[in-house]
Structures are given as C-alpha cells and as structure tokens.
Amino acid sequence: MVLVKLRAPLRDLAGGQSELQIEGATLEEVIEGLERTYPKLVGWVRDEQGEVRQHVNLFLNGDKATLAAAVSPGDRVHVLPSISGGAVQTAVMPQTSTLSEDGELAELLVGTRKGLFVLQGARGGPMKEVARKFSGTEVEFAIKDPRSGTYFASVTHGQYGPRIYHAQDPSGEWEQCSGPVFPEDAGAAVSRIWVVRPGEEEGVLWAGVAPAALFKSEDGGVSWSLNRPLWDDPSRPNWQPGAGGLCLHSICTWPGQPARMAIGISAAGVWLSEDGGETWRRGNKGLVPRYVPEESRDESTALCVHNMHRAPLQPDRIYMQFHGGVYRSDDAGESWVDIGSEGGLPSDFGFPLVTDPGDPNRAFVIPLNGDFDRVTPDATVRVFETRDLGATWNALGDGLPENAYLTVLRQAFCQDGGRPLGLYFGATSGEVFGSADGGATWATVAEHLPPVLAVRSSS
C-alpha cells in the first residue's frame, strides 16, 4: 500500500479524507486506483488523455515525479496544485432567503473570474448578493433551465480543468456532472466550457466547449456525450482559433424542431444541422472577414463569429456579432446580410448581443472600439438598439457611465424575457448594469465584483 495525501478540493471529493492507502506499482496505477475508489476524482488529476493536468504536481517521497515512477509499499505520494492555479469551494451557506414570487423581482447569475455571484432585487434596480459560489475560480457561464428549474454552472478550476455543476437552489450545494469530457480516441481534452443551452426535447441540453466541440446531454445534464460528426469533420485540421481560442460559444435551437440547430465557432464560422447533429454543413454566405487579405476572403474559412442568437418568434431569423461586422440571416443561417456598417453604430466590432424574444425585428449590441482596443467607443458606455432589422441603430445610455473605458465580454449581456424587456450586462471592471424598460434607462445593480465573464437572468 502507498500513502496518498490530498488537499482540498481533492480531499472533499474523496469523502473528506486527506490520507488514503492505495495499491499500485507505479504512480499511474496509484492514481487509477484512487479514481476507481473515488469516481468523483476522475478528470481532476488527469485529463481525458490520461495526462497529469498542467497545473497539478505529483510528489513521491518529497520529490516531484511522473506517472511512470515506480512505487513501493510505504511510499508517500502527495497530489498538489501548482502555485499558478486556484481553489474551489462549492458548499458555502446562503446569506439570505429565496427569491420573492411577486413577479417584480429579478435573479441574476453572474459568472466572474473569482466565482459565481447570485444577485436578487428589483428588476433594473440595485440588487443584493445572496450567495457566492466556487470562490477563487473562474465561472465562465451559469444558467437556469426554465423547464426543470435546475441551475447549471461552467466552472474552470485553475489546476484541475473545467466542470459543469448543477443545483436546484443556487445558494445551496452544487453537484458535479459527469462530463463533458472527450473520449480517449478523440485525442483532446476540454479546456473551457463556453455555454450550456437547454434543448427542445425534455431532458436535452447542449454544451459548447474549447477546443471547438459540441456535447449533448439527454438526462438533464447529469452526463454528456461528444457530437462525433462535428468533431470528425474533415475540415477540422484547417480550423483556426480566434484570440480566445478555438471555441464553440453559440448554440441556436428551433422551437418545435429539435433536429434543427445552428452553432457559431471562433474562428470556423457557422455550422447548420437539420438531423440532430448527425450531419453538418457551413452557413457562411455573405460573411466578410475583413481581417483576411481581400484577395483571400472568398475562400477563407477563418470566420470569427463572436456571438449568435435566434429570434424566437421568427425562428429563421438569426442575429450575429462578427469580428468586425453585425449581421442578420433570414433563412436560418444559410446566408447573411450586413446590418452594422451603416445605420449609426460607432463601431461594428464587439462581442455581446441580445435579441428581443417578443419582437423579431429588435436586437441589441454593445460595441467596442475594435480588436486593437477592446473598450467602449468614445469612453462612453452605450447599448445600441435596432427596431427595424438593423437598418438603424439608436444609442441607449441614460444612467450608464461616461468617461469610462469598459470591456463587456461575449456572455456578459442578457435579457429577462419580461415586458417591457429587462436587460442586464456586466463589465470586466466589476460593475453590473440593468434596465427594466428595454434599455431606455439604466441603473448600476451591482459593483465592485471581480471581472465579469457572464450574466444570465433566471427568468
């Protein structure tokens, strides 16, 4: 037997035990035995390819060692994080009670570089932090599935990689899901989980990850499987990453048509399926990659989609924020028209995008200067709205800061589905802003948070 010593959070995943006796002739066999005994540890020390995670260190009798190192009875093995990563905390007690049911209160799930913040308060007004979860770790995305009431959070533990967690009460205890992880023959490991999206069928959810791949759950998010047709597409070796990596961040489904789907990948463009992901084809006609030399644009597949959302009342209409360009499709993503170069936008570069679920002619963007300077133009924070399919754009800034250089990331802008529409967005400077009147007026609903990665309403 070899003595294995664990620290939190691995200790917590091993039933609270910090010292364990495990059999094995090599460190690899010891780690395999540890994972068999405590399945929750699978994927924490080693990734999908069986390699020790980049920010995890194994020490044998005080010396750093590899998986191939031989061990003997009585040896001591320490599994330790490197100094470059963070920790995880998943069971902090809630600070206050649950959300009121008077219909005028809101609940926001705010993912930050230092945990998940659950905010509650009046729609569009100041909100109170009622819980903080996963402190010290990056929460890339969090959402509530309106069908089941289950909350999901994508969490990247610095040393131990990304996980999806689920909970019935965001202020209570979160449970780790099984996956998403690549099968061994895929030759890859999940580095980030960008988005979790409820599907159209009961119990179905979708997740988009980096390196660009699509995962599906058919049991309410408990377990996940890789969509092989997209992963095995022959063109994949030619896909190029954007500045944020090769990521699948946008998933559009169709109401009443669970087999239809459109996804956006940075920087491999739009992909469409009409058979539940069994086959895929590109939908990039009309997109112009201005960052590519003009003579190469027609043939380029390096199409950097930044965000993409469907208009629910007119399902074949999709709005897109591109890497230089705002676009609209009226044929379910087959072709695209430029709606950002004219009409009043100070810049057609940006990441955030929202569509109005009650008006297919209406959408919102938050422009940034460009890839050379990703802050709000003219040092003025404004949301831009179109009510006429992008023919014109109007600035909405009453209550938003001036003389401010803010950066708003891809998933940090959302709507709450209310009438009038509620809008919320967060900045990397730690503020969250909200409007309960469709953007006509704004208020600071939270401030002094860590850099905001994602904002979603629980409505």
SS3 label, residue 100: coil
CB 5 within 8 A of CB 78: yes
Within 120-215, residue ranges assigned H as helices are none
Q: Are strands 76-81 and 2-6 parallel, antiparallel or unpaired?
A: parallel
Write down all domains in the chain, each with its CATH number in brackets: 2-81 (3.10.20.30), 105-457 (2.130.10.10)
73-77, 80-84, 363-367, 446-450: least confident range: 80-84
Three-state DSSP at 266 gives strand
Q: What is the pLDDT of residues 22-49, one digit of tens each?
A: 999 898 988 988 889 988 888 889 988 8
Helix, strand, or coil (residue 350): strand
d(CA 351, CA 328): 15
Share of the chain above pLDDT 70, in %: 95
Residue 86: which pLDDT band, with cuts at 50, 70 and 90?
A: very low
pLDDT tens-place string over residues 260-295: 999 999 999 999 999 999 999 999 999 999 988 888
Distance (Å) of CA 211 to CA 179, 216, 231, 323: 15, 16, 10, 19
Residues 200/181, Cβ–Cβ less than 8 Å: no
Question: What average pLDDT does range 410-433 have in this prediction?
Answer: 97
Q: Report pLDDT for 100.
A: 35
Q: Which helix (H) or strand (E) holds 34?
A: helix 27-37
The percent of the chain in helix, strand and coil, each rounded to the nearest 5, is 5, 40, 50
Query: For the sheet containing 318-322, what is the strand order?
Result: 305-310, 318-322, 325-329, 337-338
Interstrand relation of 383-386 and 394-396 (parallel, antiparallel or unpaired): antiparallel
Average pLDDT of the residues in 382-402: 97
Q: What angle do CA 277, 111, 50 make, to 5 degrees?
A: 55
For 210-250, the pLDDT digits (tens) are 999 999 999 999 999 999 999 999 999 999 898 889 999 99
Is residue 133 predicted with pLDDT exceeding 60? yes
Alpha-carbon gap, residue 303 to 409, rounded angstroms:
19
For residue 83, give the amino acid letter.
I
Assess whether pLDDT exceeds 50 at residue 85: no
pTM score, whole prediction: 0.86
Q: What is the dihedral of CA 154, 157, 163, 169, to 10 degrees?
A: -60
* pLDDT class of 82 with cuts at 50, 70, 90: low
